Chain A
Amino acid sequence: MTAPVLSVRNLQVEFETRRGTLRAIDGVSYDIAKGEVLGVVGESGAGKSVTGLAVIGLIDRPGRISGGEILLSGLRIDNLPPEEMRKVRGKRIGMIFQDPLTSLNPLYRVGDQIIETIKTHTSLTDQQARKRAIDLLAEVGIPAPEKRIDGYPHEFSGGMRQRVVIALALCAEPELIIADEPTTALDVSVQAQIISLIKRLGRDHGTAVMLVTHDMGVIAETCDRVAVMYAGRVAEIGPVQEVIKNPLHPYAKGLMGAIPTLAGEDKRLVQIPGAMPRLSAIPAGCSFNPRCGSAFDRCRVDRPDPLQRGTQAVACHLYDRATETAA
Chain B
Amino acid sequence: MLAFTLRRAIQAIGVMIAVGIIAFAMFRFAGDPVSQLVPIDASAAERAQIRQSLGLDDPFIVQFGRYLFDAAQFKFGVSYQFRQPVSDLLKERMPATLELAVCATILALVFGILMGVFSALRRDSLLAKLFQMVSLIGISLPTFLIGILLIYLFSVTLGWLPSFGRGDVVKLGWWSSGLFTLSGWKALIMPSITLGLFQMTLIMRLVRAEMLEVLRTDYIRFARARGLTTRAIHFGHALRNTLVPVITVVGLQFGSVIAFSIITEQVFQWPGMGLLFVQAVQNVDIPIMAAYLMMVSLIFVTINLVVDILYTVVDPRLRATISRPA
Contact = CB atoms under 8 A, between A and B. Distances in A.
Interface of A: 56, 58, 86-91, 94-95, 97, 99, 102-109, 116-117, 120-121, 152, 154-155, 165, 168-169, 171-172
Contact of B227 (A97, A121, A155): A121
A105 B319 CA distance: 16
B217 A58 contact: no
A116 B237 CA distance: 11
B223 A120 contact: no
Question: Which DSSP category, helix, strand, loop or mixed, fits chain B's interface?
Answer: helix
Contacts of A94: 225
B237 to A, nearest CB: 5
A165 B218 CA distance: 12
Contacts of B222: 95, 97, 103-104, 165, 168
Nearest to B320: A154
Interface residues of B, number: 23
Contacts of A56: 225
Given A107-B241, A154-B316, A155-B320, A117 B219 contact: no
B226 interface: yes
B320 A91 contact: no
B226 A105 contact: no
Contacts of B223: 105
B320 A102 contact: no
B315 interface: yes
B232 interface: yes
Interface in B122-178: none
A120 B226 contact: yes
A184 B225 CA distance: 19
B240 interface: yes
A106 B219 CA distance: 9
7 contacts: A90-B226, A95-B222, A97-B221, A120-B226, A155-B320, A168-B222, A168-B226
B315 A106 contact: yes
Interface of B: 217-219, 221-230, 232, 236-237, 240-241, 314-317, 320
A216 B149 CA distance: 70
Nearest to A104: B219
A88 B316 CA distance: 31
Nearest to B316: A152
Contacts, number: 78
A86 to B, nearest CB: 5
B316 A117 contact: no
Contacts of A89: 224-227
Given A58-B221, A120-B232, A154-B317, A105 B237 contact: yes
B217 A102 contact: yes
Contacts of B229: 86, 120
- Which interface residue of B217, B226, B240 has the most chain A CB atoms within 10 A? B226
- Which interface residue of B218, B219, B221 has the most chain A CB atoms within 10 A? B219
Given A103-B218, A103-B219, A165-B222, A120 B228 contact: yes
- Which interface residue of A107, A120, A152, A168 has the most chain B CB atoms within 10 A? A107
Given A106-B317, A107-B315, A155-B320, A117 B227 contact: yes
Given A103-B222, A116-B236, 11 more contacts: A86-B230, A87-B227, A89-B226, A94-B225, A95-B225, A106-B317, A117-B226, A117-B227, A120-B228, A168-B222, A172-B227
A86 B226 CA distance: 8
B228 A116 contact: yes
Nearest to A56: B225
Contacts of B228: 86, 90, 116-117, 120
- Which interface residue of B225, B316, B317 has the most chain A CB atoms within 10 A? B225
A91 B227 CA distance: 7
Contacts of B316: 106-107, 109, 152, 154
B314 to A, nearest CB: 7
A152 B222 CA distance: 17
Contacts of A109: 316
Contacts of A155: 320
A158 B282 CA distance: 63
Given A102-B219, A104-B219, A90 B225 contact: yes
A145 B221 CA distance: 25
A193 to B, nearest CB: 21
Contact of B218 (A86, A91, A102, A169): A102
A86 B219 contact: no
Nearest to A168: B226
A105 B227 contact: no
